[in-house]
Chains A and B, each alone.
Chain A
Amino acid sequence: GAGVSQSPSNKVTEKGKDVELRCDPISGHTALYWYRQSLGQGLEFLIYFQGNSAPDKSGLPSDRFSAERTGGSVSTLTIQRTQQEDSAVYLCASSLFGLGNTEAFFGQGTRLTVV
């Protein structure tokens, strides 16, 4: 498809386990973003990749969270030693260039439940 694709759609994991969430951005988009959406909350910025520049990791809530983007395309968000408060919908978005000049397109999200 032509949109942002995220996998898996749903993930249930046990507390303490590691999880990997995948994002396939729209082909050709240079910018990629990860957001977290908790129940009753807005979207919380996690990390931003732009081309070959160093990522903006200022939104990552703890050192248990990390993300990488390989070859300027696919991105993986990894959460180590998951906690119940990590339960949320994790959204990925991509844009052709930086925001404000081009639109960010969101994927459908990965719903993570930590039990």
Chain B
Amino acid sequence: QQQVKQSPQSLIVQKGGIPIINCAYENTAFDYFPWYQQFPGKGPALLIAIRPDVSEKKEGRFTISFNKSAKQFSLHIMDSQPGDSATYFCAALNTGTASKLTFGTGTRLQVTL
């Protein structure tokens, strides 16, 4: 059962563009939604995270938008740069159990010059 669905699978944007990656979840017990960034040959690293009591969170050029009623959240990267080229994973957690993150399938982003 795919509890967190992520799209698109891959994305190519030009430098300065705003790539948007979308995720949808099913389990209403999830209450913590992080995004991870992974470069080739490296482990994922936490990028930004949001809790469902807010609809938006910004950290630098990265923004999470959260729609609790639709059970959807998305990552926007403002003024994207070639160095942002990586695979991005959304995830969800029930902090009551705090034992495991449920990940989406990932989006491979390429930012071209």
Q: Is the CB of A4 within 8 A of B43?
A: yes
Q: How many Å from the CB of B100 to the closest CB on chain A?
A: 4
**Chain B interface, >50% SS class:** loop
A88-115 interface bits toward B, Cβ cutoff 8 Å, 1 = contact, 0 = none: 0001010000111101111111000000
Q: Is the CB of B99 within 8 A of A107?
A: no
Q: How many Å from the CB of B31 to the closest CB on chain A?
A: 8
CA distance A91 to B98 in the complex (A): 18
Q: Is the CB of B32 within 8 A of A43?
A: no
What is the count of residue pairs linking A and B with beta-carbon distances less than 8 angstroms?
63
Interface size on B, residues (CB 8 A): 24
Question: Given A93-B43, A104-B46 in contact, is the A42-B95 Cβ separation under 8 Å?
Answer: no
Q: How many Å from the CB of B4 to the closest CB on chain A?
A: 8
Q: Is the CB of B105 within 8 A of A99?
A: no
Interface size on A, residues (CB 8 A): 27
CB within 8 Å of B: which A17-59 residues: 33, 35, 40-45, 48, 50, 56, 58-59
